[in-house]
Chains A and B, each alone.
Chain A
Amino acid sequence: MEEVLNALARALSFGTPLLIACLGALLNERAGVVNLGVEGMMALGALASFAVAYGEAGDGNLWLAVLAAILAGGLSALLHGFVTITLQANQFVSGLALSMVGLGIAGLLGKRYEGLPLFDHPSEEPFILGAMGLALLLAFLFGATRLGLSLRSVGENPAAADLLGINVLALRYGAVVAGGALAGLAGAYLSLVYRPSWTDGMTAGLGWIAVALVIFVGWNPLRAIFGAVFFGLLYYLQFRLQGQSGIPSEVFASLPYLLVILVLALSGLRGQQGNAPEALGKPYRRGER
């Protein structure tokens, strides 16, 4: 029993940054904009929050640190918004560019914070609970509010939404910036809570996993909780199960990825595939079709 609880605690601890970033990506994808730049925004958030929390000698304000991460993520997403919404450029390429610029800038600016310890750090619980609450909130937003309905319509059929008087561009901007803010927050969790330290490359591909999880959970915020915890559990178990049998460690290391594919294939077999928003990835231009 203790064993199960412990594994669950690990799943939640590791799954939380995935959940937060996944919810962010989910939010902007529901509004029709893909942002592959999660990894870069996460890195910027991680650095911004660590820099503020460290201050001059490890004595910065933690609340301000979290806020800095949210701002860093949101502002960098604004760039993605400008390029893809206003300039109508390809969302996939812009996201890739953002992940490069984000990782690059964080790496360049972060030199002076490399490997510093942070003793006064927040505990995991508020973040874990906050992430869950956020998932519920998004589910409520999409399921039961006018704003949610508008967001979804912008992602499904922007022309029709436009005709109904919904401001497509404004909503898309809002969703992209909010999504980026959440990616930044996920970064803050990594550098303030999970480690707590900053080193270049510490996001370790988690941003990409978050992007994949959005597909895995079928764009559904409630299922995102299970998706992130499921992945977190498998990730932890690759080490917990290592050495308990003659099976090579590399098999366990690939299990999280293989099982995600397997689960998705099984749900596809039963016809339970989540559907991508209809207008996902397509820039909206008034007056075209």
Chain B
Amino acid sequence: MRLEPLPNPSPLRSVGVTLLALGLAFALVGGVFWAYGLSPLEAYRTMLEGTLLDPRGWQEVLRRTIPLLLIGAGLSLAFRTQFYNIGAEGQLLLGAVLAAGVALFLPLPPALSLPAMALAAALGGALWCGLAAWLKNRFYVNEILTTLMLNYVAQSLVIYLINGPWRGKDVRGYIYSDRFAEYQQLPVLLGSNVHWPTLALGIALALLLQLLLFRSTLGFRLRVVGENPGAARYLGISQSRAFLVVALITGGAAGLAGFGEIAGIHHRLIEPTQLSSGYGFTAIIVAWLARGNPALVLLTAPLMGLILAGGDVLKVSFNLPFRIVDVFSGVMLFALIGSELFLRYRLRHR
């Protein structure tokens, strides 16, 4: 057997291969269910009923989608430019910190409060990621290392604030900040935790970044830097500037996600591991699956949201351990990326 390149794979083939890959993933995870003494069909039926066939399930998928959408759109741009930001989790926290700072300490007219919080959050995330870009440009420090390390620093910063200077007066000494005022909380879809303004922001951002990437000079420059650094140098495009721009955008987007989590759900600054649910890492997958197209994140973010929400259903319905979610998303991911080869090649018997 050998591989034969396909110059122009048909869309039908793409859909077919992807569906086959998903089928394989479902079969493998089904095996895990079976090993746990659970009928795979029963498990999948429950997951489906608890998510897509249930209005409350939809709300959950959407709530999980919001931060993934924001961070994922930003990251897809960053990966396109070969800027490997894996510190979105820390940037999300910085966004939450600055948004909380504005909410708690900046006396603003109520109408301006939420926009100012959003702005501050974007700024916080952008600066945290911008720091990594600056270190890369000025001192040649690899951004994978910096962004990863800065995650831990961001966690310590949040803990310091809620342990000490920002500890709330209404929490009886617990490690929370005070609760935000009503007008500092994002509106939600009735009876749910879906903070829709942030959802709208995420959709707009994904489309905007798509336009920026493919319809603007800046986008062209970013793509050249990512695809062919040599050509970028030849054309006089500054790699450093591209990295900085991308870092500010992707960090800002992650910061906005942090704003959504605390202004939409928690309504205070809380302990970092309880604040985010690891969205910064999950969004890396979202971005990679979108293959460098911010707009495609509109599909991949809800897909991951669906897996996360579906995992919750399994946890509640069958007392399954929470790790089932990790296995599920991991296997799904393996199947999807493993199948990509068969989009571009086909197997031939020699």
Shortest beta-carbon distance from B77 to chain A in Å: 16
Q: Which residues of B contact A149 (CB under 8 A)?
A: none
Q: Judge whether A261 and B146 touch: CB under 8 Å.
A: yes
Q: Judge whether B156 and A253 touch: CB under 8 Å.
A: yes
Partner of A101, one of B160, B288, B334: B334
Q: Judge whether B144 and A254 touch: CB under 8 Å.
A: no
Q: Which residues of B contact A94 (CB under 8 A)?
A: 333-334, 337
Q: Judge whether B141 and A83 touch: CB under 8 Å.
A: no
Q: Judge whether A100 and B333 touch: CB under 8 Å.
A: yes
Q: Judge whether B337 and A90 touch: CB under 8 Å.
A: yes
Q: Which residues of B contact A108 (CB under 8 A)?
A: 32, 36, 321, 323-324, 327
Q: Bound complex: CA of A268 vs CA of B139, how far in Å?
A: 5
Q: Are A98 and B330 also in contact (CB < 8 A) when A103-B323, A254-B156 are? A: yes
Shortest beta-carbon distance from B328 to chain A in Å: 8
Q: Are A261 and B334 also in contact (CB < 8 A) when A104-B327, A250-B163, A254-B156 are? A: no
- Please report which residues of chain B, range 2-58, place their CB below 8 angstroms from some CB of chain A when the two chains form the complex: 32, 36
Q: Which residues of B contact A251 (CB under 8 A)?
A: 156, 160
Query: Is A230 on the interface with B (CB-CB < 8 A)?
Result: no
Q: Bound complex: CA of A200 vs CA of B322, how far in Å?
A: 11
Q: Are A212 and B139 also in contact (CB < 8 A) when A89-B341, A93-B288, A254-B156 are? A: no
Q: Judge whether A212 and B326 touch: CB under 8 Å.
A: no
Q: Bound complex: CA of A266 vs CA of B135, how far in Å?
A: 10
Query: Is B284 on the interface with A (CB-CB < 8 A)?
Result: yes
Q: Judge whether A104 and B326 touch: CB under 8 Å.
A: yes
What number of A-B contacts does a CB cutoff of 8 Å give? 134
Query: Is A265 on the interface with B (CB-CB < 8 A)?
Result: yes
Q: Are A92 and B152 also in contact (CB < 8 A) when A101-B330, A105-B327 are? A: no
Query: Is A195 on the interface with B (CB-CB < 8 A)?
Result: no
Q: Are A100 and B321 also in contact (CB < 8 A) when A215-B145, A261-B141 are? A: no
Q: Which residues of A contact B149 (CB under 8 A)?
A: 212, 257-258, 260-261
Query: Is A208 on the interface with B (CB-CB < 8 A)?
Result: yes
Q: Judge whether B288 and A88 touch: CB under 8 Å.
A: no
Q: Bound complex: CA of A269 vs CA of B326, how far in Å?
A: 40
- Please report which residues of chain B, range 132-148, place their CB below 8 angstroms from some CB of chain A when the two chains form the complex: 135, 139-142, 144-146, 148
Q: Which residues of B contact A165 (CB under 8 A)?
A: none
Q: Judge whether A257 and B150 touch: CB under 8 Å.
A: yes
Q: Bound complex: CA of A107 vs CA of B328, how far in Å?
A: 13
Q: Which residues of A contact B331 (CB under 8 A)?
A: 97, 101
Q: Judge whether B330 and A97 touch: CB under 8 Å.
A: yes
Shortest beta-carbon distance from B222 to chain A in Å: 19
Q: Judge whether B140 and A268 touch: CB under 8 Å.
A: yes
Q: Judge whether B144 and A215 touch: CB under 8 Å.
A: yes
Partner of A269, one of B84, B139, B153, B325: B139
Q: Bound complex: CA of A248 vs CA of B161, how far in Å?
A: 11
Shortest beta-carbon distance from B24 to chain A in Å: 12
| Interface residues contributed by chain B, number (CB under 8 Å) | 44
Q: Judge whether B135 and A265 touch: CB under 8 Å.
A: yes
Query: Is B201 on the interface with A (CB-CB < 8 A)?
Result: no
Shortest beta-carbon distance from B350 to chain A in Å: 15
Query: Is B340 on the interface with A (CB-CB < 8 A)?
Result: yes
Shortest beta-carbon distance from A285 to chain B in Å: 9
Q: Judge whether B341 and A87 touch: CB under 8 Å.
A: yes
Partner of A208, one of B148, B322, B337: B148
Shortest beta-carbon distance from B151 to chain A in Å: 8
- Please report which residues of chain A, range 223-272, place their CB below 8 angstroms from some CB of chain B when the two chains form the complex: 248, 250-251, 253-254, 256-258, 260-261, 264-266, 268-269
Query: Is A157 on the interface with B (CB-CB < 8 A)?
Result: no
Q: Bound complex: CA of A111 vs CA of B334, how far in Å?
A: 25
Name the residue of chain B whose CB is nearest to the CB of A100: B330
Q: Judge whether B141 and A265 touch: CB under 8 Å.
A: yes
Q: Judge whether A87 and B327 touch: CB under 8 Å.
A: no
Q: Bound complex: CA of A254 vs CA of B148, how far in Å?
A: 12
Q: Bound complex: CA of A251 vs CA of B65, how far in Å?
A: 34
Q: Judge whether A257 and B152 touch: CB under 8 Å.
A: yes
Q: Are A104 and B139 also in contact (CB < 8 A) when A93-B337, A258-B153 are? A: no
Q: What per-residue 1/0 map shows which CB atoms of B302-324 lie under 8 Å from chain A?
A: 00000000000000000001111
Partner of B337, one of A97, A211, A260, A264: A97
Q: Bound complex: CA of A212 vs CA of B150, how far in Å?
A: 12
- Please report which residues of chain B, range 269-300, place their CB below 8 angstroms from some CB of chain A when the two chains form the complex: 281, 284-285, 288-289
Name the residue of chain B whose CB is nearest to the CB of A82: B338
Shortest beta-carbon distance from B271 to chain A in Å: 12
Query: Is B329 on the interface with A (CB-CB < 8 A)?
Result: yes
Query: Is A96 on the interface with B (CB-CB < 8 A)?
Result: yes
Q: Which residues of A contact B145 (CB under 8 A)?
A: 212, 215-216, 260-261, 264
Q: Which residues of A contact B340 (CB under 8 A)?
A: 87, 89-90
Q: Judge whether A268 and B323 touch: CB under 8 Å.
A: no
Query: Is B173 on the interface with A (CB-CB < 8 A)?
Result: no
Q: Which residues of B contact A273 (CB under 8 A)?
A: 140
Q: What per-residue 1/0 map shows which CB atoms of A192-217 lie under 8 Å from chain B?
A: 00000000100000001001100110
Shortest beta-carbon distance from B148 to chain A in Å: 5
Q: Judge whether B285 and A250 touch: CB under 8 Å.
A: no
Shortest beta-carbon distance from B346 to chain A in Å: 14
**Can you spell out 6 A-B residue pairs with CB atoms less than 8 angstroms apart?**
A99-B330, A100-B327, A104-B326, A107-B321, A248-B163, A268-B140
Known A-B contacts: A215-B145, A265-B135. Give 10 more (CB < 8 A). A79-B334, A89-B341, A96-B285, A96-B333, A97-B331, A97-B334, A103-B323, A105-B327, A216-B145, A269-B139
List the 7 shortest-distance A-B pairs measured between CB atoms, nearest first: A107-B323, A104-B326, A100-B330, A101-B330, A104-B327, A250-B160, A268-B139
